[in-house]
Amino acid sequence: MSVFAHTDFSSHQQVVFCHDPASGLKAIIAIHDRTLGPACGGCRMWAYASEDEAIADALRLSQGMTYKNALAGNPLGGGKAVIWGDPAQDKTSALLRAFGKAVNRLGGRYITAEDVGMRVADMEIVRSQTRHVIGLNSSPAASGNPAPWTARGVAAGIRAALDYRFGSANPQGRTIAIQGLGQVGMALAAELHRQGARLVVADIDPRRLTQAQEQFAAQVVDSTEIHRHPADVFAPCALGGVVTAERTPHLGAAIIAGSANNQLATPEVAALLHQRGILYAPDYVINAGGVINAAGEARGQYDPSSVMRRVDAIGETLTRLFRRADHEHQPTDVIARAMAEDILTRARLENAA
């Protein structure tokens, strides 16, 4: 399928296919919009079933980053990179260096960072070939692993959603179902357990499940069934596309609020959630803590106290969004997109003046 004719192509400014036969690198870098600044978004490494699946992920994720940075108030545009390969088997130093060279050839139009299948240590290797990397441990303005900040923002968003739906932001005694116990999911589980929530968890790694049982007294359920479990909040924290039209009638939670990108399988799902009265915290709003943290590093002025205030303010942004959605009788995802597009339109007019 042509990129321009792809269903997920949305006025992307640049899509680059990168191949290095020596290292086996097959990567796609999608730059969606640079109105607010250089395109910024993580690099995901995944064993995609097909090239089209990899393209779709890059296109959707990069557009989400445009909206995420706009609504977070970051002077950054939206971009994303995906590497087609199994991170457990195909990731090598040579491949990471080749990816770094590909990023560098873009001359700063795209800034990369870690995402699924990548670690801070991997980004350090990428950094050996380009300065257009954030989320590091070694640079003068290093911000480190963004996962704890993403988890902090999701926790703030969950409190805002609980307050809006139930009249109290306190997670004490609330049942929260977390799908995915990676770096963000596990950090979120720890924070919610500390605040007194009852946790239901699912993950493909039995070691993580054992850890959650032992440390948080979590109830373990099957990954394919957790969306059905009765809960106050369903928090998707693994890969996207888990909230489908087929699953929507069977959702067991009153709120969907998690860290995964592209949680809705299709845009139409937002209307189905709205019809059912399920409060959805749009993923590119609630999971912005990591990129808020990294934005300071991108500017070369990292201030942890400022980052903390801005990440905690994610809850306030969501509350405004929920109120507007109710006032306009629209799905929250529709309103979030409208809010982001308003920011971009104003910036374009200012840039043209």
Cβ proximity of 36 and 78 under 8 Å: no
Question: Cα-atom radius of gyration of the chain, to the nearest Å?
Answer: 19
Give the residues across from 179 on adjacent strands: 202, 236
Cβ proximity of 260 and 241 under 8 Å: no
Spell out the residues 6+ positions from residue 202 whose beta carbon is closer than 8 angstroms to its own.
177, 178, 179, 180, 209, 220, 221, 222, 223, 225, 226
The distance in angstroms from the start CA to the end CA of the chain is 38
Would you state the structure tokens that stand for residue 21, as one six-digit string? 């036969």
Residue 79 three-state SS: strand
Cβ proximity of 252 and 241 under 8 Å: no
Is 80 part of the annotated catalytic residue set? yes
What dihedral angle (degrees, nearest 10) is formed by the CA atoms of 225, 58, 261, 42? 130
* Alpha helix (H) residue ranges in the chain: 51-72, 93-104, 120-127, 147-166, 183-194, 206-216, 268-276, 283-286, 289-299, 304-312, 314-328, 332-352
Would you state the structure tokens that stand for residue 197, as one six-digit string? 């929530």
Among the listed residues 26, 80, 91, 101, the single catalytic one is 80
Catalytic (active-site) positions: 80
